[in-house]
């Protein structure tokens, strides 16, 4: 990895992350988190999801503020287009998780980032979700992530940073491995 005498600052407190890793290795029960999101239908295919509280470190936690995300379908689906589609929100979650990982790994490896951008594309045959063809999957056929990274590092080092980010990404894991989902009506 490329190193420099100039201090590296990608905005990630790696010392705190490494400290948390050490502390949680000694107290594994504190590492059990429960993330939550709530969603309310607005009208048509438009919904608004919110996130505010979660459980972790053995207690209830809160974000500094409640965050909200509008989701809808585009006008070409005879909808109002009041927000990104749910599948686009999934792509944004993956992009955000991987990019945060790039910043953290680069900071840990003392690589100064100048810019990082990711473009994600996912192909989907919508005949599945429309019920046109029962043999067509409802979800993505595949996802392609393309990075443009300007950093004080060789192309090989940048690829290693991206690979480590991918290895540690929770959202990448959620998308690429089966996850049990239970749906209930209260």
Kindly report the pTM of this predicted structure.
0.88
* Cα-Cα end-to-end distance for the chain: 53
pLDDT per residue as tens digits for the range 65-124: 999 999 999 999 889 999 999 999 999 999 999 999 999 999 999 999 999 999 999 999
User: For residue 18, is it left (φ>0), alpha (ψ between -120 and 50) or beta?
Assistant: alpha
| pLDDT range class, residue 169, cuts 50, 70, 90 | very high
How much is the average pLDDT of 150-155?
Answer: 96
Question: Helix, strand, coil: what percent of the chain each, to 5?
Answer: 35, 30, 35
What confidence score (pLDDT) does residue 5 get? 63
Q: What is the DSSP letter of 22?
A: H
pLDDT per residue as tens digits for the range 17-37: 888 878 888 888 988 899 999
What confidence score (pLDDT) does residue 2 get? 52
């Amino acid at each position: 990895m490329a190193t420099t005498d100039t201090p590296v600052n990608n905005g990630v407190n790696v010392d705190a992350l490494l400290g948390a890793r050490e502390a949680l290795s000694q107290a594994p029960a504190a590492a059990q988190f429960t993330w939550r999101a709530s969603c309310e239908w607005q009208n048509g295919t438009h919904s608004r999801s919110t996130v505010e509280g979660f459980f972790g470190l053995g207690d209830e936690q809160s974000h500094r503020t409640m965050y909200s995300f509008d989701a809808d379908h585009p006008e070409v689906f005879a909808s109002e287009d009041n927000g990104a589609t749910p599948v686009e929100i999934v792509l944004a979650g993956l992009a955000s998780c991987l990019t945060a990982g790039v910043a953290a790994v680069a900071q840990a490896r003392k690589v100064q980032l100048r810019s990082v951008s990711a473009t994600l594309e996912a192909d989907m045959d919508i005949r599945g979700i429309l019920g046109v063809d029962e043999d067509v999957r409802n979800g993505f056929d595949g996802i392609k992530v393309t990075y443009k990274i300007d950093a004080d590092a060789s192309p090989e080092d940048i690829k290693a940073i991206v690979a480590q980010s991918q290895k540690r990404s929770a959202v990448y894991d959620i998308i690429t491995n089966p996850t049990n989902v239970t749906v209930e009506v209260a």
